[in-house]
Amino acid sequence: MGNKLDAKTLSLSSKANTIIFALIAVGLLSFAVGLATDAKRTWFSFLLNHSLFLGLGIGGLFFLVIHYLASAGWNVALRRVSEGFASYIFIGVLLNIVLFFGLGKIYPWTDHHLMETDHLLHGKMGYFSYPFYIGRIVFFSAMIAFFAWRMIQNSVAQDAEGGVERTNNQKPLAALFLVLFAPMFTVFSVDLIKSLDPKWFSTMFGVYVFVGFVQASVAATVIVIRMLQKQGVLLEVTPDHFHDLGKYLFGFSIFWAYIGVSQYLLIWYANLPEETTFYLAREKAGWMWISLLLPALRFVLPFLLLLPRMAKRNVNYLSKVAWIVLLGAWVDLYWLIMPTVSPDKLTFSFWDIGLLVGFIGVFAFMIRRFFSKNLMVPVKDPYLHETLHHHVM
């Protein structure tokens, strides 16, 4: 790998395109058959996989934002990957609308009788009304879609225009995004996942989900770049860039563990019935194994495996660790979501895997579409020289 600028779009073989469409077909078939045979379990599988891949898109957008605000130049060579992830948001927000059709199968607060008769839930009826819930989801979806569209548009337009104006325009846009994103994502994570147990309280849940999404997005970035380099593109991304990505992966693994432990200790110390139910449900036979496996995948293994400097610079090694983290992200969401539908025992379903395959196909399709229409490297970015001569001491 060298520093030669590779100003071209991505062109995949017909075989690769066929595989992508085959994956999508598997997902669509699984969804259709699942709805016909076991609608409730299928909607939970949809929620699981939709959450993961929307999280990768949100993580990619966040990665763009923080580097624009920091005036970072090292990441320019790999920025189009983050933009490709963010482009998935446009499909993700449409899938939020699809999820509306399954609300009654997934969320207990849709049971009007339960909300009326349970004194712990009666006061939340207004908040969990259909119009207010749908309004919150639509507002959050429109917000992230707008920022993703605007930031990608500025970046792509700069390829033709050059100059620093587009880069300067990104900074106030990124700052505004963070101001709006922090409270709105907290609400969104509560609506999407925590409201599966509307009686449960946690002030740290939004941060927990957010950190998990960003960690997974960094891992997916490493994997996608490695795949692209095998196709002969993005060779501008050197071991020095991977070193920085490895440090991000290492740091967010620690941050995830910090938030997870903090949430657990606060609930354990307070010992309030409306809070402890979450962990008690995940200490039952079967789910306890997932509770023990999860920190190993998301913290212990990444922490130990990424400690050496070599681990962050060896691309093949780093990508293997990234796969472990990405698996951990899926397991984490499974652990958060599935005890609602199967509280007494751990169960895996064909629909979980079938829909996962389909979402992989849709995610790959959106990235391929973005890369086929835009240059793989922002050739007129004012910080381009920094990324082409990036060295880590």
If pLDDT is split at 50, 70 and 90, which confidence band does 8 have? confident
Q: Is residue 6 part of a domain?
A: no
Do the Cβ atoms of 236 and 80 come closer than 8 Å?
no
In the predicted structure, residue 4 carries a pLDDT above the cut 60: no
Mean pLDDT of the chain: 92
Alpha carbon distance 278, 335 (integer Å): 11
Q: How far, in Å, are 79, 151, 246, 313 from residue 309 at the CA level?
A: 23, 33, 9, 7
Please tell me which residue, 5 or 234, carries the higher pLDDT value. 234
Q: Is residue 375 part of a domain?
A: yes
Instruction: Find the mean pLDDT for residues 350-370.
Output: 95
Q: What is the pLDDT of residue 3?
A: 43
Report the range of poorest mean pLDDT among 3-12, 264-273, 290-299.
Answer: 3-12
Look up the domain containing 59 and give its range.
14-388
Amino acid code (one letter) for 149: W
Token look-up 């060896």 returns 314
Q: What is the pLDDT of residue 330?
A: 97
The tens digit of pLDDT for each residue in 211-249 reads 999 999 999 999 999 999 988 888 899 999 999 999 999
Helices assigned H by DSSP within 162-238: 165-192, 205-230
In the predicted structure, residue 1 carries a pLDDT above the cut 50: no
> What is the tally of structural domains in the chain?
1
Alpha carbon distance 151, 170 (integer Å): 6
Residues in the chain: 393
Alpha carbon distance 133, 316 (integer Å): 44
DSSP 8-state code for residue 272? -
> Measured in whole angstroms, how far is the alpha carbon of residue 39 from the centre of its chain?
25
Alpha carbon distance 103, 260 (integer Å): 27
Q: Is residue 393 part of a domain?
A: no
Instruction: Find the mean pLDDT for residues 83-97.
Output: 96
Q: What is the pLDDT of residue 2?
A: 41
Q: What is the pLDDT of residue 222?
A: 97
Instruction: Find the mean pLDDT for residues 89-115.
Output: 94
Q: Is residue 234 part of a domain?
A: yes
Q: Is residue 152 part of a domain?
A: yes
In the predicted structure, residue 6 carries a pLDDT above the cut 70: no
Q: What is the pLDDT of residue 79?
A: 94
Do the Cβ atoms of 320 and 220 come closer than 8 Å?
no
**Most confident stretch, 1-10, 77-86, 159-168:** 77-86
Q: What is the pLDDT of residue 333?
A: 97
Q: What is the pLDDT of residue 63?
A: 95
In the predicted structure, residue 14 carries a pLDDT above the cut 90: no
Alpha carbon distance 143, 160 (integer Å): 27
Q: Is residue 76 part of a domain?
A: yes
Alpha carbon distance 217, 53 (integer Å): 9
Q: Is residue 5 part of a domain?
A: no
Do the Cβ atoms of 189 and 209 come closer than 8 Å?
yes
Q: Is residue 239 part of a domain?
A: yes
